[in-house]
Chain A
Amino acid sequence: TQLLEQSPQFLSIQEGENLTVYCNSSSVFSSLQWYRQEPGEGPVLLVTVVTGGEVKKLKRLTFQFGDARKDSSLHITAAQPGDTGLYLCAGAAGANNLFFGTGTRLTVIP
């Protein structure tokens, strides 16, 4: 079983601050996805990274895939209350299912 560890588990920050969430594993993944989940809803796909060292930007969110394709980070610039949610990373080791981390619960205080 591929284990994905996310840190921190909980993060509470003021609006306008920057933050970074980490996703680490000892396994190599063919791709890695980041999702955001609201309470009572399913995860919503934010981004997919495939190539080691790849960086993708989505407005104020920057995603990076580690060179060895074992880890990833999500950086949010100038966080807003609408960024509040559970951020999940998910790794794909092959052609089938995704392995999810336990998530980082972010609260942005206005």
Chain B
Amino acid sequence: DTGVSQNPRHKITKRGQNVTFRCDPISEHNRLYWYRQTLGQGPEFLTYFQNEAQLEKSRLLSDRFSAERPKGSFSTLEIQRTEQGDSAMYLCASSSSRWPLYNEQFFGPGTRLTVL
């Protein structure tokens, strides 16, 4: 399978705990994106990387959130001191950086986070 993969698929945690999610993009894609989706809404952009550089962060990405892509391949998204409002589906996507392919983003299956 050469699609985007995400782990874990589901995470249940208690408020105040830290969680980390992993995303493995399509191998030939150098752009990687993180989105958050809550029930009944479309995905909302959080941040994106081109290779290992984090080029943009949304205002939704509070200081409790940090994302890394150290070698320009897989990425991790960490949420510190989780709150119940962080409960959502966290989606990762990847794309080429060439026009117009960079707008064709391919999504992984998501990680469903539930904060109790």
Contacts and interface: CB of A to CB of B under 8 A. Distances in A.
- Please tell me the size bucket of the interface on B: 20 to 34
Contacts of B100: 30-31, 48, 50
B42 A88 contact: yes
B112 interface: yes
A21 to B, nearest CB: 13
Interface stretch (A58-66, A68-76, A89-97): A89-97
Interface residues of A, number: 25
A92 B109 contact: no
Contact of B112 (A33, A40, A45): A40
A107 B106 CA distance: 24
Contact of B43 (A92, A95, A96, A100): A100
Nearest to B93: A42
Contacts of A42: 4, 6, 91, 93, 107-110
